[in-house]
Amino acid sequence: MELHVVINGRKDLAEQLYRQLREAIASGRLAAGAQLPPSRLLAEQIGVSRKTVSDTYATLTYEGLLVGKTGRGTFVNAHALQTERIQTAADLACAANLSKWAALPSPMRHPTRDSTLRYEFIGGATTRNQFPQDEWRRCTQDALRRIARDSGFYSQPEGLPALREAIAGHIAFSRGVKCRADDIVVTNGAQQALDLIARVVLEPGITVAMEDPGYSPARQLFMAMGAHVAGVPVDAQGIQVDQVPEGTRLIYVTPSHQFPLGMPMSLARREALLARAFELGAIIIEDDYDSEFRYEGRPTDSLQSMDSRGLVTYVGTFSKTLLPELRLGYAVLPPAIYPAVIKAKQLTDQHSSTLPQWALAKFISEGYLLKHIRRCHTVYAGRRERILQRLAGDLSPWFDAVPTEAGFHMAALCKVPVNIPLLMELARRVEVGLYPVDVFFHDTPVRHGLIIGFGAIELMDIDPALDRVRDILQQIG
């Protein structure tokens, strides 16, 4: 790779070279320890004599900015100092806004590959061992062939028609959602869907109502847009609709598998919520993030399927059914907000990557997705049952499982006082990843306990991991 140096004319060649190299070192463009091209090579590249380059290198070496290493070449001195101080956040006019963003917590940030523990009970993560690599590879190869035949233009912001048709058919079959392909926008995960809807519905100071405890990334997103987020308590039937405040413009709920506690919203509460949203003129976001995995009880239709007035935006994701790294989600939009959301999507990122869109469209249409969900359902059901047995057995003195019928996480609330931060710290020392539930409470009284994900931990690992947790609990009393 050539070093970027520009020489103008035939005058002051050494001075031009010296000034540009010194500026590159001072700005950090030439990083400490970077090797410079040999003098002969650089001279040929920029059209000057080798002596000019050698003299410049010598001057910078004398000033301590370069260092020569016998037999190896010339390098930027690791101790070379910047001549100008780089602006910090506090120096900028937007310092207050930067501080606001920096202060946002990230309670659901997943560990890196290097920091992942042997036994992980993190929520929202899937097991890589179940991912259908061969089928996905075939679909990706088909997607590459389609892209090779394509025009080379940008795609549609709402997503590829083939994928939207496939999604519409899938969610109508599996979740009873009433929609056409033209009602759907494909997004980079469910989080972008929430962002796009909030962009077109909210203004600073507007009230958003959401379950409390609830999904913290959604709360932080709404707050970052200047909204006032009102936490509404939940009980065994779901969100307490009579406490949704006046002036609410957006209501965010997880009716099929309440996050993080896990209970489904009752039919009476669903009807009351739709009536309340109509009364307020509010849009409801139904985040149906993992309800395709159901283990007991009668299947419940989506809230969207009960909506006859165009109030509910149904948000789904393939991060929970396939892999989080794919970053593919979607939203089924009411007619009133569809044009605005599509414009927001276009302005945000033009469109989601078409390669995984083509691959996913084929993956769904060939029946691979339903087959994969059925296979994972059996796997997750076994893990869920074993964790419930342990919570009802030797872990019962400390924890009580919240009844849950779907998904691949559950909440275990403390029956007696437990030092959860200490438990988590001691568990990490023995390679067990535990995560607290209290970070999802905001306006309602906090209840302590754990959110136990069973998507990423193998069945055979559950007992050894929970044995270690039990031993720690006995140790700390």
- Residue pLDDT, tens place only, 272-309: 999 999 999 999 999 998 888 888 766 678 999 999 99
Question: Which pLDDT does position 114 carry in this prediction?
Answer: 67
Q: What value does the mean pLDDT of the chain take?
A: 90
Least confident of 145-154, 162-171, 175-184, 365-374: 145-154
Mean pLDDT comparison of 34-43, 292-301, 379-388, highest-scoring range: 379-388
pLDDT in tens, 316-371: 999 888 888 888 999 999 999 999 999 999 999 989 999 999 999 999 999 999 99
Which residues belong to CATH 3.40.640.10 in the chain? Answer: 132-366
What whole-number percentage of the chain has pLDDT above 90?
Answer: 65
In the 3-class helix/strand/coil scheme, how is the chain assigned residue by residue?
Answer: CCCCCCCCCCCCHHHHHHHHHHHHHHHCCCCCCCECCCHHHHHHHHCCCHHHHHHHHHHHHHCCCEEEECCCEEEECCCCCCCCCCCCHHHCCCHHHHHHHHCCCCCCCCCCCCCCCCEECCCCCCCHHHCCHHHHHHHHHHHHHHHHHCCCCCCCCCCCHHHHHHHHHHHHHHHCCCCCHHHEEEECHHHHHHHHHHHHHCCCCCEEEEEECCCHHHHHHHHHCCCEEEEEEEECCEECHHHCCCCEEEEEECCCCCCCCCCCCCHHHHHHHHHHHHHHCCEEEEECCCCCCECCCCCCCCCHHHCCCCCEEEEEECCCCCCHHHCCEEEECCCCCHHHHHHHHHHHHCCCCHHHHHHHHHHHHCCHHHHHHHHHHHHHHHHHHHHHHHHHCCCCCCEEECCCCECCEEEEEECCCCCHHHHHHHHHHCCEECCECHHHCCCCCCCCEEEEECCCCCHHHHHHHHHHHHHHHHHHC
Which residues belong to CATH 1.10.10.10 in the chain? Answer: 13-76
Question: Which pLDDT does position 396 carry in this prediction?
Answer: 96
Question: Which pLDDT does position 80 carry in this prediction?
Answer: 60
What whole-number percentage of the chain has pLDDT above 70?
Answer: 96
Question: Which pLDDT does position 469 carry in this prediction?
Answer: 97
Question: Which pLDDT does position 107 carry in this prediction?
Answer: 65
Residue 471, pLDDT above cutoff 90:
yes
The pLDDT confidence band at residue 261, using thresholds 50, 70 and 90, is very high
pLDDT in tens, 357-370: 999 999 999 999 99
Provide the CATH topology of domain 132-366. Aspartate Aminotransferase; domain 2 (3.40.640)
Residue 110, pLDDT above cutoff 90:
no
162/299: higher pLDDT: 162
| CATH of 13-76 among 3.40.50.300, 1.20.120.1460, 3.40.50.880, 1.10.10.10 | 1.10.10.10
Question: Which pLDDT does position 154 carry in this prediction?
Answer: 84
Question: Which pLDDT does position 84 carry in this prediction?
Answer: 56
pLDDT in tens, 173-212: 888 999 999 999 999 999 999 999 999 999 999 999 999 9
The pLDDT confidence band at residue 105, using thresholds 50, 70 and 90, is confident
Q: What is the pTM of this model?
A: 0.82
Provide the CATH topology of domain 119-127+371-476. Aspartate Aminotransferase, domain 1 (3.90.1150)
Q: What is the mean pLDDT of residues 423-440?
A: 95
Residue 1, pLDDT above cutoff 70:
no
